[in-house]
Amino acid sequence: MAVFKGAGVAIATPMKKDLSVNYDEFARLIDDQIEQGTDAIIVCGTTGESATMTEAEHVEVIRFCVEHVRHRVPVIAGAGSNATDTAIYLSQEAEKIGADAILSVTPYYNKATQNGLIAHFTAIAEAVKIPVILYNVPSRTGCNVLPETTVALCRDVRNIVGIKDATGNLAQTTKMMSLAQAQGVQVELYSGEDGLIVPILSLGGLGVISVLSNVAPRQTHEICAKFFSGDTAGARKMQLEAQPLVDALFCEVNPIPVKRALSLLGYDCDVLRLPLTRISSEHEAQLVQAMKDYGLEVRS
């Protein structure tokens, strides 16, 4: 059984002016996401600013999320690191807390060969019993999991179940799914690009791990639901309608625009930790217009 199917939100982490986590606002964000149809919560990912959290803080944010969600939807904990031992520690802590699965990013900065990636992810997966979803985002990590490597890991490691594909490279994704099909290997594929939800679903994807869902959870869920129900034309129409907003949400490095967008929707979510800084006035104007055009109620 898949970890989840549909639209999972790569949830932002609200913070106070003193840069501590705003757990009251985080609870409100979680509740609103679930109420509006989000199919899973992905906590402590890129959008959640996990890169600026201490290990203790990282674990506590996962703990709060799991306890607040209370099994209403699956919780997937971002638990990756460029240091294998650190990734193992975070993954084991997430499992103890009760996360339903972990999301494990490719090693960044030091990177790895494909053999190194196999060793890294195998060590992490063997240290826990819960499912592991690989996270391939070469634009951030400088490290790409090749199709052959993904298929081998899903074939050979019991609890490596799939991948969040944020390569933006549909040819690579197609090759990966072709190899999986030819070898009879199940790869649970999730889009890591909001602009490619429908194309990824058409290749056998199960859903999306989404930034867009932070501000449009019901609509992102509906894109997937329409596709799965056979209404591919309806899903395609919604995908295309969302594109200007998707572009605006990535006009600066994520999560700068989406945290500003959440603030414009009335959430106390405008604080970022350095090195991230407030969105420029030019890009904010683009974001506001895209939100309004999409039908979102923007607060002044």
Residue positions annotated with a catalytic role: 135, 164
Helix (H, G, I), strand (E, B) or coil at 210: strand
CA 161 from centroid of its chain's CA atoms: 16
- Separation between Cα atoms, residue 223 and residue 232, nearest integer Å: 9
Maximum alpha-carbon separation in the chain: 54
- Separation between Cα atoms, residue 255 and residue 187, nearest integer Å: 28
- Separation between Cα atoms, residue 300 and residue 285, nearest integer Å: 12
- Separation between Cα atoms, residue 27 and residue 294, nearest integer Å: 26
Which one, of 229, 218, 171, 223, lies nearest residue 194 by Cα?
Answer: 223
CB 38 within 8 A of CB 7: yes
Q: Phi and psi for 66 in degrees, rounded to 5?
A: -60, -45
Angle, CA 273 vertex, CA 279 and CA 195 arms, to 5°: 50
Q: Which pairs count as long-range contacts for 215-219, CB under 8 Å and 24+ apart, including other chains? A: 215/245, 215/249, 215/258, 215/261, 215/262, 215/265, 215/291, 215/296, 216/242, 216/245, 216/294, 216/296, 217/7, 217/9, 217/32, 217/33, 217/36, 217/37, 217/38, 218/36, 218/37
Bridge-based pairing state of the strands 40-43 and 101-105: unpaired
